Amino acid sequence: MNLSVATRMERLDALRGLAVVWMALFHLAFDLNHFGLLDTRYNFHRDPLWTTQRTCIVSLFLVCAGLGQALALQGQSGARFTPGFLRWFFRGLAGSAFSFFTAAFFGSGWAPAAGTSSR
């Protein structure tokens, strides 16, 4: 591959790196809390500190993916709605519909874990 054509975007790489490190630290804290190794117990599912971090981490990954895709397609005409794109779009739509109907059926608990009762 010609390096003059395929140059890296250092700022985007740094943003991706930040997202990975932030996610690793979040999961480390989650696991330490889960196994009772922290002095204070946190509710990672309800505490705004942790839910906000979770949302920011996911959003950062999505922004990086979108920026990377936009840079990859830059200068290409007609490459936006290929059959592959549409296939993934409809898979995402189907997954969202499944999540919506699961939430509607099971209420606030969503789908119960395997081997547990929804009652």
Distance (Å, rounded) from C-alpha 30 to C-alpha 45? 10
Main-chain dihedrals φ then ψ at residue 83, nearest 5 degrees:
-55, -35
pLDDT in tens, 33-84: 999 999 989 999 999 999 999 999 999 999 899 888 888 777 666 555 567 7
**Structure tokens that stand for 25 in this block:** 């630290």
For the chain, how many residues are written? Answer: 119
Cβ neighbours of 52 (radius 10 Å): 10
Residues near 76 by Cβ (< 8 Å), separated by ≥ 6? none
The pLDDT, as a whole number, for residue 4 is 46
* pTM score of the predicted model: 0.59
Distance (Å, rounded) from C-alpha 9 to C-alpha 6? 10
Q: What Rg do the C-alpha atoms of the chain give, in angstroms?
A: 20
pLDDT in tens, 13-46: 999 999 999 999 999 999 999 999 999 899 999 9
